Structure 1
């Protein structure tokens, strides 16, 4: 069942693209952050701002166009404001992750115009613990960054109540890479600029130039990529025959380096200080790591949640469920031991939805749900990089979704009305948006599902897009907002197909979205405070593409049963004036083969990403790469309470860069990495 959908529909019956990733799959494919762990799913990529800060990208869209939720409500963090801000949720905290690809604005508002990643974490128990007590434990070590991860959960019954306790810790050092941190093209451009500067500084000796060049081209590891994450939570629920009601509290802390950030600061310092002072400054950095140039983020969040569900409420109401979260978030950007900028985000978000009982109508079954979702947040940034003024955002939305199913075919439709108010000390804006969708689906033969969905989605601008005005070192730009921005509108069409051929399962989607007034930051050609100026404005744009998966048995070899899987995805992002949208992922395919016995799974896969040369004016081309990964999973005991995972990633030590990352020319993916993990379930 896909709980992110208001209707009680299974994954193979959802009219749009959907993926449900269970806990075992997350543990087997764990790769740092939540976004990086699910980035191998069809249609999903990552903003990869180093191993600590990444957000999901779905079909080329990210930031405020993809909502990252926990149990249906927002994270109440600052991750949408800047790509160097970490998401306040870890992959190992999830029991499952539901990914809705394509517009989900009907159920979750304009912030989901590109999709939804919903983390089902189980902090508030919905069921009683089996045999009165259950739990899990995960521990792993990684070679590429000397990383250590541990997570545990225990759940037990206490009379009519169920108590859930969880804790997680993740630490890592700077990670290794197979070559230069900076891409070849980036170094060529930078060396050309240095040659131009050298013409004006002919009196500097050769040794100083050589030292400066080596300083600017780190090799073998990504500097300032250390991280230290931890979280702890406690939840308690009353669980009855017809529902549950529970409460939880969670504390999250993180201290992590921001790779590429120090490099940008160093450029500014070089413009203002002479070469000799730079040498002294760099020498101090070597002796006192984290001081001066290195920028780190110290993050803390406290969150309280209340959730509940009631079923079988009478003749007309099948179920009512609600979620409500309150969060207090703060992080400071440290330059050495001094606070450069402080970000705070205090807010709440709530959601309630009711599903009516099925109605037999016109030879089919009519099901539906309606609900209310609202949030409020007070955001403030103070310090050197406070490029956004303090703001308060309030958002209210009403939605309804209905589905009529006559077994061989059916219809589904939805409507959402939403209002948003944004207030700053200097000015205010308010927006009213409407989103609606309609689908027709058919089942021409057994185990085949085809659907066509047409939707109109609207998204209100964010505080950054409206009011930004200042240098943003994370994106290496001076950002200026546009208080005159209007609502962003998208007309989308999607064809979804799922079928079986013999024992093989196939699924895929074709999509196209035409945007009227797509909001993005565009270069102006000017400079401010040493950075190129980018301004937010609206342009018409089109995104189109496909994603798909095919998997099934390949026969047997000895005691091993073989199975294969092939996934692929492609997105094309174009502006009406003939230009390209920035940070669009390239064509990519992943092929894997698994050999299984009762206690062993051997998995070998290859990930291929094509060159991305359909780039925006300010971007550099990203080269193609192939990553080879292998994993051995062993269950030594019959009760399957223990699993051992041995994995090797990027076995050929290939240089790989993610085109969807702002830092892709400064921060490549990790080099060859080995992971050993132990998983216990009891």
Structure 2
């Protein structure tokens, strides 16, 4: 897809939408009746058939922890790829990359985060209106790319309503001790008649972060020692161990900055708006080594290059550190049109983005990833107060992705997707039924071949309210996913995954048959929700070792195997009563997923059983929270990964609103109070880069 063609498509879409004009202003509702905007029907969160979480703006600020995935880490069923604090993409129910769609206002990020775990997501959460997490069949309207779920960031960068008194604003400033980090955000929105203008700026930066011990895990250090010295006395080479990162992770600092300008026309009929966002980032890749000496080939083959190897070769010469520079210019056009007709709401969004990121080895350019894309989505809904509501929609995506340089493991590819979906819901109070159907077509055009795929996905749900405060639902679904450009056309060394990846030109579609059951109970003093799921995959696409080596790396090829994933998510909250003038409440959650190959063996990087327990105390303008996050060991592993130990992290914070008539909040907190060594099994760097150590955070936010 040429840049000229994509810009013409964007201009044509803009002209069409501006000719129609429309909108629906979203107002914040209490959490218990909040609307899930990611679903075409905009169902209330407590009425969605399936597992969903909606995190509001205040909760996002309180839980803010660097990037998007780390901020959502306490949600059941959600973890991170964690390639250091700068780069982390959400994993939902053990699935990531192209099986989980990370959206910005309902459209993809149009970045390269699905292609590699060291590529950062361009979605920011500071100042976002809310983040919605849909799991499993609840994400059916987004097609096979959401076979695992959807994480949708509603970033509020395009105004959808007139500000009160003609102007409103948002300010945030924070600091963290573990990395000497700082975070800033400012937004101003002003109305001139029906025209609303908005400017937004965000910046977060940090130095190398501190850890309680060695960056490398004890298992990895022992394995490296055995490979290098056999069974010699470990103490004979203590000087070598001292060269490893200890107390901090080198090359883990980062700087992210975004600037956006937007304008909307807002009226009783709806709104239409356009926004431009510029994202710039520079960050280091911890544990990312480019050891080209033959003496390092064995370490590469096992994925065991240490920070010491990354900085010095056998002659003691210092090697160049690897950093990454990211730039993206994104233009969004969004609107909504409310009308008195059978189809009473039309909602649309279009985005065009130019994305470039460059990997540097010292001051030298290593590999350049260049991506230009356009994505659009139109939804037409009918809802008139009766038992029936529904929506139909169209979605398109066209992107041109190319990589040039030493690690250009993926050949230039043009991807074109078209999707058509319909969803209907009949709600008769005591019971109801909901169904969805989506057809997609994908064209992959590479240098060696051109492939076309057609996929059909559908779901059918039954739900009931057996008593006051009860909601139960059961869903059967069949979801198809077409292969991605990387899965088909990869052919080269991919140092981020420590593998020589080989695509498969003969891949077919991946099909999942799944069942999911949900039960919710909402009472005055107690509420809970539990969801169990089972998914059988016909032709699960994965990277599997061949036993061969290339360029000092183990060769992994994409192929298809039958697989099964099953598990549960559960959460509960309770009001405990009053003491000392404080209202006490508690929250708890747990999740588990198991991933198995049908012919034996386990899927890689599957998260273990985990849970969170929190105690909250509220008294007027003071809110105190203490929580513990518990993660079990993971020993259900593949042949090419090592087990991960269990850990427990304890956090505490206080939120103070000193002025009754002003929306100003002061936050003070401590994460990882006990300075625990913790490693995420879902990370490619779990044995090279642990989670940060103890960190004190202080922040202030204001809305006016």
**TM-score after normalising by structure 2:** 0.91
Contact kept? 1:315, 1:357, Cα under 8 Å: no
Note the C-alpha offset of 1:213.
Answer: 3.9
SS at structure 1 position matched to 2:137: coil
Contact kept? 2:538, 2:562, Cα under 8 Å: yes
Query: Where do residues 459-470 of structure 1 align in structure 2 (5 Å cutoff)?
Result: 459-470=481-492
Q: Which residue in 2 is equivalent to 1:591? A: 613
Q: Which residue in 2 is equivalent to 1:300? A: 327
Q: Which residue in 1 is equivalent to 2:56? A: 22
- Deviation per CA, 1:361-403: give whole Å up to 9, x if none: xxxx111100000100000000000000000000000000000
Q: 2:677 aligns with which of 611, 631, 655?
A: 655
Q: Tell me, in whole angstroms, the C-alpha distance in 2 between the residues paired with 1:258 and 1:276.
A: 14
Change (3 A) 1:268 1:74: farther
Task: Give the aligned CA root-mean-square deviation in angstroms.
Answer: 2.0
Q: Which residue in 1 is equivalent to 2:551? A: 529
Q: 1:88 aligns with which of 122, 135, 150?
A: 122
Q: 1:214 aligns with which of 228, 242, 245?
A: 242
Greater shift after overlay, 293-302 or 87-96? Answer: 87-96
Greater shift after overlay, 390-399 or 314-323? Answer: 314-323
- Deviation per CA, 1:485-505: give whole Å up to 9, x if none: 110000010001111245101
Query: Where do residues 263-274 of structure 1 align in structure 2 (5 Å cutoff)?
Result: 265=291, 270=296
Q: Tell me, in whole angstroms, the C-alpha distance in 1 between the residues paired with 2:40 and 2:625.
A: 36
| Unaligned residue ranges in structure 2 (runs of 5+) | 1-34, 300-307
Change (3 A) 1:556 1:332: same
Q: Tell me, in whole angstroms, the C-alpha distance in 2 between the residues paired with 1:137 and 1:282.
A: 52
Q: Tell me, in whole angstroms, the C-alpha distance in 2 between the residues paired with 1:64 and 1:279.
A: 36
Q: Tell me, in whole angstroms, the C-alpha distance in 2 between the residues paired with 1:282 and 1:220.
A: 26
Contact kept? 1:265, 1:293, Cα under 8 Å: no
Q: Which residue in 1 is equivalent to 2:105? A: 71
Note the C-alpha offset of 1:106.
Answer: 2.7
- Deviation per CA, 1:23-79: give whole Å up to 9, x if none: 110100110001110121111111111000000000000000000001111110000
Q: 2:435 aligns with which of 396, 413, 424?
A: 413
Query: Where do residues 260-299 of structure 1 align in structure 2 (5 Å cutoff)?
Result: 260-262=287-289, 265=291, 270=296, 285=318, 292-299=319-326
Residue 366 (1) aligns with residue 350 (2): no
Contact kept? 1:100, 1:117, Cα under 8 Å: yes
SS at structure 2 position matched to 1:134: strand
Residue 355 (1) aligns with residue 381 (2): yes
Note the C-alpha offset of 1:314.
Answer: 3.0
Greater shift after overlay, 569-578 or 393-402? Answer: 569-578
Q: 1:637 aligns with which of 655, 659, 663?
A: 659
Q: Which residue in 1 is equivalent to 2:688? A: 666
Alignment length, in residue pairs? Answer: 661
Q: Which residue in 2 is equivalent to 1:342? A: 368
Query: Where do residues 100-499 of structure 1 align in structure 2 (5 Å cutoff)?
Result: 100-104=134-138, 106-196=140-230, 211-215=239-243, 217-262=244-289, 265=291, 270=296, 285=318, 292-311=319-338, 313-358=339-384, 360=386, 365-499=387-521
Q: Which residue in 1 is equivalent to 2:89? A: 55
Q: Tell me, in whole angstroms, the C-alpha distance in 2 between the residues paired with 1:512 and 1:587.
A: 16
- Deviation per CA, 1:499-532: give whole Å up to 9, x if none: 1245101111000110000011011121111111
Q: Which residue in 1 is equivalent to 2:32? A: none
Change (3 A) 1:279 1:328: closer
SS at structure 1 position matched to 2:46: helix
| Unaligned residue ranges in structure 1 (runs of 5+) | 200-205, 286-291
Q: Which residue in 1 is equivalent to 2:536? A: 514
Q: Which residue in 1 is equivalent to 2:31? A: none
Q: Tell me, in whole angstroms, the C-alpha distance in 1 between the residues paired with 2:102 and 2:675.
A: 32
Contact kept? 2:457, 2:478, Cα under 8 Å: yes
Q: Tell me, in whole angstroms, the C-alpha distance in 2 between the residues paired with 1:170 and 1:252.
A: 12
Q: Which residue in 2 is equivalent to 1:582? A: 604
Contact kept? 2:127, 2:170, Cα under 8 Å: no
Contact kept? 2:311, 2:320, Cα under 8 Å: no
Contact kept? 2:50, 2:138, Cα under 8 Å: no
Greater shift after overlay, 596-605 or 351-360? Answer: 351-360
Change (3 A) 1:93 1:328: farther
Q: Tell me, in whole angstroms, the C-alpha distance in 2 between the residues paired with 1:590 and 1:315.
A: 47
Contact kept? 1:105, 1:111, Cα under 8 Å: no
Note the C-alpha offset of 1:301.
Answer: 0.1
Q: Tell me, in whole angstroms, the C-alpha distance in 2 between the residues paired with 1:93 and 1:481.
A: 40
Change (3 A) 1:280 1:260: closer
- Deviation per CA, 1:292-315: give whole Å up to 9, x if none: 43100100000001001001x233
Note the C-alpha offset of 1:214.
Answer: 3.0
Change (3 A) 1:220 1:277: closer
SS at structure 2 position matched to 1:261: coil
SS at structure 2 position matched to 1:92: coil
Contact kept? 2:388, 2:426, Cα under 8 Å: yes
Greater shift after overlay, 393-402 or 188-197? Answer: 188-197
Q: Tell me, in whole angstroms, the C-alpha distance in 2 between the residues paired with 1:282 and 1:508.
A: 58
- Deviation per CA, 1:622-662: give whole Å up to 9, x if none: 00001010001111111242110001000000000001111
Change (3 A) 1:500 1:196: same
Contact kept? 1:47, 1:660, Cα under 8 Å: yes
Change (3 A) 1:473 1:198: farther
**TM-score after normalising by structure 1:** 0.94
Residue 549 (1) aligns with residue 575 (2): no
Q: Tell me, in whole angstroms, the C-alpha distance in 2 between the residues paired with 1:135 and 1:468.
A: 46
SS at structure 2 position matched to 1:35: helix
Change (3 A) 1:422 1:279: closer
Q: Tell me, in whole angstroms, the C-alpha distance in 1 between the residues paired with 2:476 and 2:529.
A: 19
SS at structure 1 position matched to 2:477: strand
SS at structure 2 position matched to 1:106: helix
Change (3 A) 1:595 1:210: closer
Contact kept? 2:139, 2:150, Cα under 8 Å: no
Q: Tell me, in whole angstroms, the C-alpha distance in 1 between the residues paired with 2:536 and 2:328.
A: 38
